[in-house]
């Protein structure tokens, strides 16, 4: 049998940022004098795995005796995980975090999952029992060699004896915090600014071996986005709740139109096909819970630091970039790149689930609103079999206020998809406070609304427009898509007016 290569023999230190070894040769973990520190690396190589490293002595030199643990150390009593004994690593590897270049041994992203002190409780050839006192890992584990032929087998097993973590904070049911619309960008060092992503808002609950995605209105949308199913693998944490946006990119920009094709899919075959044709990216911009602790009361800048350290980016997972103070320049860049706008967030602010706060402000490059569909008017010509326009409104205290008719922005596929849903919601009851046929400005292109068909106000449409007139009507509105992630009751006229920069 060929002798196993040492740490140095496997690496080219002129090409990899990993530290060189101070001493060659591996020690026996069952007999080597223990040190004081440990580290667990999260290693995104060909496959994700974790590396447990315990400080032990090789003569007078401390080294990190290492095991590759594919599923990390177990937390469940009775559960046993494989741990493959690998070459000793230099002590300086305990602080290593970064990228091992492609083509090098172990190529991929390496992050410190946890570190701290440890103590050996029992040690003999083929067995080590140890207590970890880390930031995440607190408990006692048994590590023992499998009973295979040959004493030099590298396969070990690990199981937990005692879980010594403090009791976790209750895992809350959360709704996303909302931003207040404002008209003009601004500069202020007490604020940070980030792009406004044109997608579907989602909270991602990341557990040890699964991810659950929940929409803004608390619907489970996990199955609709299988390309995000392994999101938890890219989070350096035991558990976490992330706030972000699901977007479909097109030519380097998020396209809500492309995403629209995936939002309402339920058939597994349709979802699988759409996943290949229209991949999505989760843009994450906040963290609300991590490692059993609620972060809702933590200031924004602390949550951002935690988030940056916790996410290992991929093509389908990115952290939203931020700038401090210079909102005007970012707004101009967003406008030039045809992005939806920017969001301003005040430093020091806490996270208020479900609240529309004034320390989060959204400034759009194009005016856009989420509006309730209250009816439709029949189409003419090549649209005689569908509808000519949607009749939309927004809520005030006394009910649904008519704001206009939307007749553009539809392709044939959307017309055909919407028509059955409108028929299903048909109602004899007009949902608006004032009949659109009698309301001031209640016309489209100067023509009165004819033969309106009312529907129950259950669908929300995203609409672009140029301005809101003095009587509260949309000018040049264009349909962008449906918003199943938003409740009709959340479509407020006050928000529409604030977006347009007029008094409600």
pLDDT at 449: 81
Mean pLDDT along residues 257-283: 92
Asked whether residue 209 falls in the same domain as residue 252, the answer is: yes
Cα separation values, 294 from 147, 231, 357, 437, Å: 43, 20, 20, 51
Q: Given 340, 360, 380, which residue is the final one in a domain?
A: 360
State the pLDDT confidence band at 353, using cuts at 50, 70 and 90: very high
Asked whether residue 118 falls in the same domain as residue 191, the answer is: no
Residue 18 has pLDDT above 50, yes or no: yes
DSSP 365-407: SSEEEEEEEEEEEE--GGGTTSEEEEEEEEEETTEEEEEEEE-
pLDDT at 188: 98
Assign 162 to helix, strand or coil.
Answer: strand
In-domain check, residue 172: no
Nearest Cα to 54, choosing from 136, 125, 114? 114
In-domain check, residue 2: no
Q: Given 360, 383, 417, which residue is the final one in a domain?
A: 360
pLDDT at 150: 53
The catalytically annotated residue of 135, 154, 196, 304 is: 196
Where is pLDDT greater, at 91 or 6? Answer: 91
Asked whether residue 90 falls in the same domain as residue 207, the answer is: no
pLDDT digits (tens, 9 = 90+) for 173-198: 889 999 998 889 999 999 999 999 98
In-domain check, residue 1: no
Asked whether residue 403 falls in the same domain as residue 491, the answer is: yes
Asked whether residue 263 falls in the same domain as residue 144, the answer is: no
pLDDT digits (tens, 9 = 90+) for 417-458: 999 999 999 999 999 999 998 866 544 434 568 889 999 999
pLDDT at 442: 43
Nearest Cα to 238, choosing from 126, 353, 134, 365? 134
In-domain check, residue 354: yes
For the chain, give the percent of residues with pLDDT over 70.
96
Q: Is 196 a known active-site residue?
A: yes
Asked whether residue 243 falls in the same domain as residue 326, the answer is: yes
State the pLDDT confidence band at 251, using cuts at 50, 70 and 90: confident
Mean pLDDT along residues 301-328: 97
pLDDT at 148: 63
Asked whether residue 373 falls in the same domain as residue 483, the answer is: yes
Asked whether residue 352 falls in the same domain as residue 375, the answer is: no
pTM of the model: 0.81
State the pLDDT confidence band at 152, using cuts at 50, 70 and 90: low
Asked whether residue 326 falls in the same domain as residue 237, the answer is: yes
pLDDT digits (tens, 9 = 90+) for 25-55: 899 999 999 999 999 999 999 999 999 999 9
Average pLDDT over the chain, rounded to an integer? 92
Asked whether residue 269 falls in the same domain as residue 303, the answer is: yes
> Which 8-state DSSP code applies to residue 277?
H
pLDDT at 441: 52
Q: Given 300, 331, 360, which residue is the final one in a domain?
A: 360
Nearest Cα to 117, choosing from 101, 94, 145? 94
Interhelix angle 256-263/268-277, rounded to 10 degrees, is 160
CATH of the domain at 269: 3.30.470.30
Asked whether residue 103 falls in the same domain as residue 201, the answer is: no
In-domain check, residue 97: yes
Asked whether residue 348 falls in the same domain as residue 202, the answer is: yes
pLDDT digits (tens, 9 = 90+) for 376-404: 999 988 898 999 999 999 999 999 999 99
In-domain check, residue 170: no
Assign 195 to helix, strand or coil.
Answer: strand
CATH of the domain at 451: 2.40.50.140
Nearest Cα to 21, choosing from 96, 99, 72, 109? 96
- Phi first, then psi: give them for residue 338, nearest 5 degrees: 60, 35
In-domain check, residue 115: yes
The token pair that represents 40 in the structure block: 């667990």
Question: What domain range is 102 assigned to?
Answer: 8-163
In-domain check, residue 3: no
The total number of structural domains that make up the chain? 3
């Amino acid at each position: 049998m060929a002798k196993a290569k040492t740490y140095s023999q496997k690496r080219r230190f002129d090409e990899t940022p990993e530290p060189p070894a101070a001493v060659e040769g591996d020690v026996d973990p069952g007999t080597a004098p223990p040190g004081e520190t440990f580290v667990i690396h999260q290693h995104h190589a060909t496959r994700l795995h974790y590396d447990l490293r315990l400080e032990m002595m090789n003569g007078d030199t401390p080294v990190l005796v290492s095991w590759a643990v594919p599923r990390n150390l177990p937390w469940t009593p009775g559960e046993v995980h494989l741990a493959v004994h690998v070459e000793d690593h230099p002590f300086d590897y305990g602080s290593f975090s970064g990228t091992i270049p492609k083509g090098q041994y172990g190529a991929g992203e390496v992050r410190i999952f946890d570190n701290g002190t440890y103590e050996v409780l029992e040690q003999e050839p083929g067995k080590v029992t140890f207590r970890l006192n880390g930031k995440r890992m607190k408990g006692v584990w048994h590590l023992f060699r499998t009973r295979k032929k040959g004493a030099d087998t590298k396969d070990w097993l690990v199981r937990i004896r005692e879980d010594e973590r403090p009791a976790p904070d209750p895992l809350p049911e959360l709704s996303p915090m909302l931003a207040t619309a404002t008209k003009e960008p601004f500069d202020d060092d007490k604020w940070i600014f980030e792009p406004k992503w044109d997608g579907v808002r989602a909270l991602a609950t990341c557990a040890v071996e699964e991810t659950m995605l929940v929409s803004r209105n608390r619907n489970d949308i996990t199955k609709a986005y299988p390309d995000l199913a392994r999101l938890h693998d890219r989070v350096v944490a035991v558990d976490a709740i992330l706030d972000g946006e699901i977007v479909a990119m097109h030519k380097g920009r998020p396209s809500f139109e492309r995403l629209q094709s995936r939002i309402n899919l339920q058939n597994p075959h349709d979802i699988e096909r759409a996943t290949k044709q229209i991949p999505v990216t989760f843009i994450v911009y906040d963290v609300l819970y991590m490692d059993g602790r609620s972060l809702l009361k933590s200031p924004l800048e602390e949550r951002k630091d935690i988030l940056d350290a916790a996410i290992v980016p991929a093509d389908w997972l990115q952290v939203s970039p931020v700038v401090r103070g210079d909102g005007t320049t970012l707004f101009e860049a967003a406008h030039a790149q045809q992005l939806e706008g920017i969001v301003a967030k005040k430093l020091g602010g806490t996270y208020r689930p479900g609240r529309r706060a004034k320390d989060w402000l959204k400034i759009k490059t194009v005016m856009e609103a989420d509006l309730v569909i209250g009816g439709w008017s029949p189409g003419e010509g090549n649209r005689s079999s569908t509808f000519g326009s949607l009749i939309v409104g927004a809520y005030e205290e006394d009910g649904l206020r008519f704001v206009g008719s939307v007749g553009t922005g539809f392709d044939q596929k959307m017309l055909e998809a919407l028509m059955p849903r409108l028929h299903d919601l048909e109602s004899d009851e007009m949902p608006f406070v004032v009949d659109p046929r009698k309301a001031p400005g209640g016309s489209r292109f100067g023509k009165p609304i004819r033969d309106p068909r009312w529907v129950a106000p259950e669908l929300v449409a995203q609409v672009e427009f140029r301005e809101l007139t003095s009587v509260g009507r949309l000018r040049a509105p264009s349909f962008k898509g449906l918003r199943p992630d938003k409740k009709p009751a959340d479509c407020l006229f006050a928000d529409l007016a604030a977006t347009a920069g007029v008094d409600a």
